[in-house]
C-alpha cells in the first residue's frame, strides 16, 4: 500500500511508520513547512495542502493533534485541542474528496472520550455520545471527515483508549511516581480505564486499513477494561512497589485544573472493541497484568509452587 500519514512523528504515528515500512508499505508523511523526499507539505492552520502529491495513495491515516492531557486546560489550550483536530481533519477530508484518484480508506484519529463519563456501563461502537468537553471535541472531530465519506472514501474513526508505552503518553508520566512508591488510586478508584498497548494499537490500525468491512467508529481498546484501582494494583505489582496511598486530589486539581481532573482522571469509560472482535482481530495483550509486564519488560510472576529465582536446589 501507499499510505499518507499526518502525526507521523508522534508516539503512535512513529511506531506505525516503522510497522508499515517494515511490512513493505510506502509511507508518505504530511509535514508542516518545507516538504522533503517522501513528504507532503500542509498547513492545517492556514488551510493549505499540496493536494497533487496525495494523488494515487491507497490509504490515509490522520493522527495529527496536540496531546489532550499534556498541559493544563485553559481557554487557549482547549481551543488548540479542538481546532487542531477539527480544522486539520476537515482540510484533509475536503482535499481527499477533490482528488481524481482518492484513497480507498481514511483512518482518522478519534478517542473513547466520545462516550463521556459512563460509570460501569459497557460501551460499544453502537453506544451514544456522552457529555463534556472531550465528548464534544471528538464528535466534531469525527464529523469533520464527512466530505471524504460523501465522496465514497471508506472512513474509519479510530476511537483509541489510553495507549500504554514506556516511551511516552500517560504511562510514561506515571512511572516516576510509581517507581518512587508514591503511586496510588485516584479518587474512589472505581472509574474505568480503557487501554491498549502501543503494539496492539499499531496492529489494530493496520488491520483497519486492510479490512474493507471496518468503517465508522472502531474502538481501539483491549477487551479487558479495568478500574483505576485495578490498574494501580497491576502497575505497582509490575514495578514491585506499594500502592497503598491515594493520590491527593488537592495536588491534582492544582496541577491540572478541576475540569481536566474531572473528565480525564475521575471520569472513565468501560469500552469493548466490538468491531475489532467481529472482524477477527487478535490482541497480543488482552489483559492488563500481562500488558504492563510486556510494556515494562517486567518478568512474569512465578507459577504456583515454583521455586524462587536462584533457588530450587
Domain extent listing, the chain: 2-296
Reported pTM = 0.93
pLDDT at position 298 is: 80
The residues pairing with 62 across neighbouring beta strands, listed in sequence order, are 6, 108
pLDDT 10s digits, 41-52: 999 999 999 999
pLDDT at position 312 is: 45
Mean of the per-residue pLDDT values for the chain?
A: 94
| Alpha-carbon gap, residue 100 to 176, rounded angstroms | 51
Q: What is the tally of helices (H) and strands (E) in the chain?
A: 11, 14
Longest Cα–Cα distance of the chain, Å, equals: 72
Which CATH class for the 2-296 domain? alpha beta
Kindly tell me if the per-residue pLDDT of 153 is higher than 60: yes
> Which among 272, 274, 280, 268 has a CA at the least distance from the CA of 203?
280
pLDDT 10s digits, 269-303: 999 999 999 999 999 999 999 999 999 998 876 65
| Alpha-carbon gap, residue 54 to 145, rounded angstroms | 16
pLDDT at position 303 is: 58
Give the residue-averaged pLDDT of 239-251: 93
Work out whether the CA dihedral 22, 24, 30, 36 comes out positive or negative: positive
Confidence of residue 313 (pLDDT cuts 50, 70, 90): very low
Confidence of residue 304 (pLDDT cuts 50, 70, 90): low
Other C-beta atoms closer than 10 Å to the C-beta of 38 total 10
Amino acid at each position: 500500500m501507499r499510505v499518507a500519514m499526518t502525526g507521523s512523528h508522534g508516539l503512535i504515528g512513529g511506531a506505525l511508520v516503522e510497522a508499515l515500512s517494515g511490512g513493505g508499505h510506502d509511507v508518505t508523511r504530511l509535514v508542516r513547512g518545507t516538504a522533503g523526499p517522501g513528504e507532503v507539505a500542509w498547513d492545517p492552520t492556514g488551510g493549505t495542502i499540496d493536494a497533487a502529491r496525495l494523488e494515487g495513495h491507497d490509504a490515509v491515516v490522520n493522527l495529527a493533534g496536540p496531546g489532550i492531557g499534556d498541559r493544563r486546560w485553559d481557554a487557549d489550550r482547549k481551543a488548540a485541542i479542538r481546532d487542531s483536530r477539527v480544522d486539520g481533519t476537515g482540510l484533509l477530508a475536503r482535499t481527499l474528496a477533490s482528488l481524481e484518484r482518492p484513497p480507498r480508506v481514511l483512518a482518522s484519529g478519534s478517542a473513547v472520550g466520545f462516550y463521556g463519563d459512563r460509570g460501569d456501563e459497557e460501551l460499544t461502537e453502537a453506544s451514544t455520545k456522552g457529555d463534556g468537553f472531550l465528548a464534544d471535541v471528538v464528535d466534531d472531530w469525527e464529523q469533520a471527515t464527512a466530505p471524504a465519506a460523501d465522496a465514497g472514501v471508506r472512513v474509519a474513526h479510530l476511537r483509541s483508549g489510553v495507549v500504554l508505552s514506556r516511551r511516552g503518553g500517560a504511562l510514561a508520566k506515571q512511572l516516576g511516581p510509581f517507581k518512587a512508591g508514591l503511586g496510588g488510586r485516584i479518587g474512589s478508584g472505581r472509574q474505568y480505564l480503557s487501554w491498549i498497548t502501543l503494539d496492539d494499537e499499531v496492529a489494530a490500525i493496520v488491520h483497519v486499513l486492510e479490512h474493507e468491512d471496518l468503517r465508522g467508529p472502531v474502538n481501539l481498546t483491549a477487551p479487558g477494561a479495568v478500574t483505576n484501582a485495578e490498574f494501580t494494583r497491576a502497575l505497582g505489582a509490575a514495578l514491585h512497589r506499594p500502592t497503598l496511598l491515594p493520590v491527593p486530589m488537592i495536588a491534582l486539581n492544582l496541577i491540572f485544573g478541576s475540569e481536566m481532573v474531572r473528565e480525564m482522571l475521575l471520569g472513565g469509560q468501560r469500552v469493548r472493541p466490538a468491531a475489532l472482535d467481529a472482524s477477527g482481530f487478535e490482541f497480543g495483550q488482552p489483559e492488563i497484568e500481562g500488558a504492563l509486564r510486556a510494556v515494562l519488560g517486567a518478568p512474569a510472576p512465578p507459577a504456583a509452587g515454583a521455586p524462587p529465582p536462584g533457588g530450587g536446589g
